[in-house]
Amino acid sequence: MNTSLKRQVLEAFKRLHRTRQIAFQDDHFALQAARKRINEEYKKNKHVTNSEAVNEMINLSKAVEEELKTSVVQAREVEPGKYELRILPNTRKLDNIPFQDCKT
């Protein structure tokens, strides 16, 4: 694996860790679980030297990073049955379609 590719792998690794810190801010359990999972995946694949395979894994890490940035919403119970959401500017917001029960 060439130096440029190694640098890209390290950059992707660092970006995932920075993104996890933003996505799971103040949630120590989720922060540790994400840290452990990221580290496990990188250690599991550190033997891979095929440039094409490494590029695929870099692209996967970018997709995971994007998913964390746009899909993770934190909820905190502020009183019984009432939750406060932490929605970030990058969070993807979809239109909510009301449920209609179709009894036939």
- Residue 80 falls inside a structural domain: yes
d(CA 87, CA 104): 39
Q: Give the dihedral of Cα atoms 99, 84, 71, 89; nearest 10 deg.
A: 120
Q: How many domains does the chain have?
A: 1
Q: What pLDDT is stored for residue 104 in this prediction? A: 61
Per-residue pLDDT of the chain (104 residues; tens, 9 = 90+): 788 999 999 999 999 999 999 999 999 999 999 999 999 999 999 999 999 999 999 999 999 999 999 999 999 999 999 999 999 888 998 888 888 888 76
Any long-range contacts for 31-39 (C-beta under 8 Å, 24+ apart)? 38/13
Is 101 among the domain residues?
Answer: no
Return the pLDDT at 98.
83
Residues in the chain: 104
Buried b or exposed e, range 54-85, using 16+ CB within 10 angstroms:
beebbeebeebbeebbeebebeeeeeeeeeee
Whole domain around residue 41: which residue ranges?
Answer: 3-86
Q: What is the pLDDT of residue 102?
A: 81
Q: In whole angstroms, give the CA distance from residue 42 to residue 44.
A: 5
